[in-house]
Amino acid sequence: MSIKFIEDSKIFKLDSKTSTYIFGVFEGNYLVHYYYGAPIPDTNVDELRVRPGFASFCPDSPSARVFNFSPDVTPLEYSTFGAGDFRLSAFAVKNSEGNKVTDLRYVSHKITKGKKALPGLPALYVNNEDESDTLEVVTEDKVTGAKVTLIYTVFNNYGAITRSVKVENASDKPFYIDTVHSLCVDMPGADYEMMDLYGRWVKERSLDRYPLHHGIQSIKSKRGSSSHNHNPFTALVSKGANEEYGECYGFNLVYSSNFSIDVEVDGFRSTRLVMGINPEGFSWYLAPGEEFYSPEAVMVYTNEGIGEMSRIFHRLYANNLIRGKWKKAKRPLLINNWEGTGMNFDHDKLVSFAKHAKDIGLEMLVMDDGWFGKRDHDNSSLGDWYVAEYKLQKGLSGLIKEVNDCDLKFGIWFEPEMISPDSDIYRAHPDWCLHTKGRDKSIARTQYVIDYSRKEVRDHIYSMMYDVLSNNNIDYVKWDFNRNLTEVSCAELPPEKQGEVFHRFVLGTYEIMDRLTTDFPHILLENCSGGGGRFDPGMLYYSPQIWTSDNTDPIERLTIQYGTSLCYPASTMGAHVSANRRTGYETKMNVALWGSFGYELDPDKLTPEEKAEIKDQIALYHKYYDVIHYGDLYRLITPFENEFHVAWEFVSEDKNEALVTVVEIKRVYDEFFMLRLKGLDPEKYYEIEETGDTFSGAYLMNAGLNLTHRPHGDGVSYRVHLISKD
């Protein structure tokens, strides 16, 4: 098994494909962390524990009075508040006496094959038990009766370990969970650089990288979603690490609401990272006998560079996070009407859309916002999920029939977590939106957030969605979420449970998404939140693709897609060709091919020349589908460090095919441009399809490909397609 318990030394050793993770039971039943890094065979690791234990004011432990041990400097496996460790706390409960002193100690453990699901939460899964092993370590705080199980799963085919926490109240009194992080990792030294993905609407997931410093560095959201602003991902990398070289520790939280990632460097230059639910605005009332599960955190380690870290995440998520029919099935090539029509459409317009879309080779029409209630602008009707027959004069079924007669599938847009003040549902149930008694209701984008912490609200919304989906031939749902949460309280919950509403809300969202994908397993669900405002692993568990950004400008998309690819596979990134953007259709296509490809324009307005060009693009989409969706990504030139060129490469799993894409952001005059490729088999010979030239993989990776005479100009792009001759 990949997990072992060494009885003599009381050491747990977890071995993934690229890493070893070691912790153990120390004097006083403290859980102490020893090592996380490249694989090692050793189990005699006590020297890795030793820190300066007699610094000023560092408390000793009455139950572990041994040389060189203090809770404040020892690398503890799961840190707690108030019992001698003054660094970042991973866990704390507020007990019936009103204080938050918490002290967890080891009780027992078990090791099993496979992996259990997390109740009510998205999480990675195994296709068969041999893919993973799981360790459950039971700890307890004897004073509060908090029984905390630390859950670790090693994925045997990847350099990945997942972690989550189960909290039980084993006492006869209630307590509050104040802080519950999903992981805590202590690392020796502080010679790391921290990478994170920040942004805003239409500029999501830009890359930031900076050295760790003494003190605390944090990435957080308290918006009720993972957000455009910060992604629940970070990496600690060795100084100078690049795509091919260096140590990389990647961390990602499978969660779509308020999160917190905190990294502390202490006075001894030791580093601690905790990740989990943001404690700000959170508390959970746990009555005797009740349980609580934290969201799952994913840890990836490699010493082969940032690119390999990304590829481990990509393979893991493609095989063990994304589920259902669309995990492997080829997804339909769609056109969305939003940028073509906005809400200004009717039956005849959409049928014309469909006919022209079919003529150029598209496979699905998606009807976006504006089909329901009295929705002619964005200030009404959210929550009124019934057909606006003044627009769709033959009803939804009549429209779908005519679209299907064009041999196109049909998709539809919903925003199920929102409610308009000008809507029938709000007039009937004004208390159903999130609100706080005595305070104004904040409004954003002329809409409120409906209270998904309430079962009757969720059931009502889902019954309307079910009506639409069960009575019509619909193959795709775009699920949107277009504002953040304010006045977060619930009229149905008692005061002691008001700190639960953020978490209950996202659990409600997960429940409805689960019901939808269970009741309609054939439907392709795409998540959206003003573009990429909820691009996180929690959403990917239900929707295998996410609309990456509302910004479809191909040059702007370069940084957005590059940043997203740091953790998330190409198959998950919704990427469309749109009209009215700088650059020609060639570059629009080349950039959009790096993802789940589609179109966002009005086909009625295309010239014959543009239609012919798009037909050619569609043929290329089918040609390159497998290498993009199932191949490995190699980032060659990053837009965050180069203002002239951007380049990336997909290589098939068998290394028999590669697709290289280059975009010239700004024209470079008289440049000698050699591009070294990656990921090829050095022993194989590859033919460049466009020129017929043949080179060895070793030549292409070490000497490079001479692109000096390729096209030049602002926004110009091109592809290089390689096929193995062996």
pTM for this one? Answer: 0.97
Residue at 284 is within a domain? yes
Residue at 293 is within a domain? yes
Instruction: Show the tokens assigned to 624.
Output: 């390159």
Based on the domain organization, do 62 and 154 belong to the same domain?
Answer: yes
Based on the domain organization, do 81 and 177 belong to the same domain?
Answer: yes
Residue at 440 is within a domain? no
The predicted pLDDT at position 508 comes to: 98
Helix (H, G, I), strand (E, B) or coil at 694: strand
Taking a C-beta distance cutoff of 8 angstroms, is the pair 264, 87 a contact?
yes
How many structural domains is the chain composed of? 3
Q: How far apart are CA 362 and CA 23, in angstroms?
A: 54
The predicted pLDDT at position 362 comes to: 98
Sign of CA dihedral 51, 55, 58, 64: positive
Among 320, 351, 386, give the residue marking a domain's end. Answer: 320
Taking a C-beta distance cutoff of 8 angstroms, is the pair 164, 118 a contact?
yes
The predicted pLDDT at position 522 comes to: 98
Based on the domain organization, do 26 and 56 belong to the same domain?
Answer: yes
- Nearest 10 degrees: Cα torsion 501, 502, 504, 509: 140
- What contacts 574, CB < 8 A, 6 or more positions away? 526, 528, 545, 546, 547, 548, 595, 596, 598
Based on the domain organization, do 113 and 172 belong to the same domain?
Answer: yes
Closest among 343, 384, 383, 389 to 367, alpha carbons compared? 343
Residue at 621 is within a domain? no
Give the Å distances, CA to CA, from 348 to 366, 385, 390, 581.
15, 21, 12, 27
Based on the domain organization, do 224 and 354 belong to the same domain?
Answer: no
Helix (H, G, I), strand (E, B) or coil at 464: helix
The predicted pLDDT at position 49 comes to: 87
Taking a C-beta distance cutoff of 8 angstroms, is the pair 677, 636 a contact?
yes
Instruction: Show the tokens assigned to 336.
Output: 């969305």
Q: Which residues pair with 113 in a beta bridge?
A: 133
Q: How far apart are CA 258 and CA 225, in angstroms?
A: 6
Closest among 297, 323, 302 to 312, alpha carbons compared? 302
Q: How far apart are CA 98 and CA 176, in angstroms?
A: 9
Residue 247: give its domain's CATH number: 2.70.98.60
Residue at 325 is within a domain? no
Q: Which residues pair with 249 in a beta bridge?
A: 236, 301
Residue 696: give its domain's CATH number: 2.60.40.1180
Q: How far apart are CA 290 and CA 445, in angstroms?
A: 39
Based on the domain organization, do 347 and 465 belong to the same domain?
Answer: yes
Domain that holds residue 706: 634-724
Give the Å distances, CA to CA, from 89 to 77, 81, 117.
11, 5, 26
The predicted pLDDT at position 201 comes to: 97
Work out the number of other CB atoms within 10 angstroms of the CB of residue 438. 5
Q: Which residues pair with 24 in a beta bridge?
A: 11, 32
Based on the domain organization, do 311 and 349 belong to the same domain?
Answer: no
Based on the domain organization, do 340 and 239 belong to the same domain?
Answer: no
Averaged pLDDT, groups of 10, the chain, 726 residues long: 95 97 96 97 89 74 75 95 96 95 98 98 97 98 97 96 98 97 96 98 97 97 98 98 98 98 95 98 98 98 98 98 96 96 96 96 98 96 97 97 98 98 98 96 96 98 98 98 97 96 98 98 98 98 98 96 98 93 90 96 93 96 98 97 94 98 88 94 97 97 94 93 93
Instruction: Show the tokens assigned to 214.
Output: 């003494």
Helix (H, G, I), strand (E, B) or coil at 479: strand
Q: How far apart are CA 286 and CA 176, in angstroms?
A: 6
Q: How far apart are CA 575 and CA 588, in angstroms?
A: 10
Closest among 416, 343, 340 to 378, alpha carbons compared? 343
Q: How far apart are CA 568 and CA 484, in angstroms?
A: 23
The predicted pLDDT at position 53 comes to: 63
Q: Strand pairing of 203-211 and 192-200?
A: antiparallel
Q: How far apart are CA 537 and CA 543, in angstroms?
A: 10
Based on the domain organization, do 273 and 394 belong to the same domain?
Answer: no
Give the Å distances, CA to CA, from 340 to 445, 499, 609.
21, 43, 18
The amino acid that residue 139 corresponds to is T
Q: How far apart are CA 430 and CA 109, in angstroms?
A: 50
Residue at 167 is within a domain? yes
Among 299, 320, 341, give the residue marking a domain's end. Answer: 320
Based on the domain organization, do 315 and 336 belong to the same domain?
Answer: no
Q: How far apart are CA 424 and CA 410, in angstroms?
A: 27
DSSP secondary-structure letter at 577? E
Residue at 377 is within a domain? yes
Residue at 533 is within a domain? yes
Q: What is the tally of helices (H) and strands (E) in the chain?
A: 12, 38
Based on the domain organization, do 263 and 365 belong to the same domain?
Answer: no
| Residue whose structure tokens are 């940032």 | 306
Cβ-count burial 372-392 (b if 16+ within 10 Å, e if not): bbebeebebbbbbbebbeebb
Q: Strand pairing of 20-25 and 31-37?
A: antiparallel
Sign of CA dihedral 106, 107, 108, 109: negative
The predicted pLDDT at position 567 comes to: 98
Q: How far apart are CA 67 and CA 53, in angstroms?
A: 8
The predicted pLDDT at position 54 comes to: 63
Q: How far apart are CA 454 and CA 451, in angstroms?
A: 6
Instruction: Show the tokens assigned to 496.
Output: 């002691």
Sign of CA dihedral 687, 689, 693, 696: negative
Q: How far apart are CA 67 and CA 573, in angstroms?
A: 53
Strands (E), 456-583: 476-479, 524-527, 545-547, 573-578
Among 320, 339, 364, give the residue marking a domain's end. Answer: 320
The predicted pLDDT at position 9 comes to: 94
Based on the domain organization, do 209 and 347 belong to the same domain?
Answer: no
Residue 345: give its domain's CATH number: 3.20.20.70
The predicted pLDDT at position 55 comes to: 66
- What contacts 41, CB < 8 A, 6 or more positions away? none
The amino acid that residue 255 corresponds to is Y
Which residues are annotated as catalytic? Answer: 480, 550
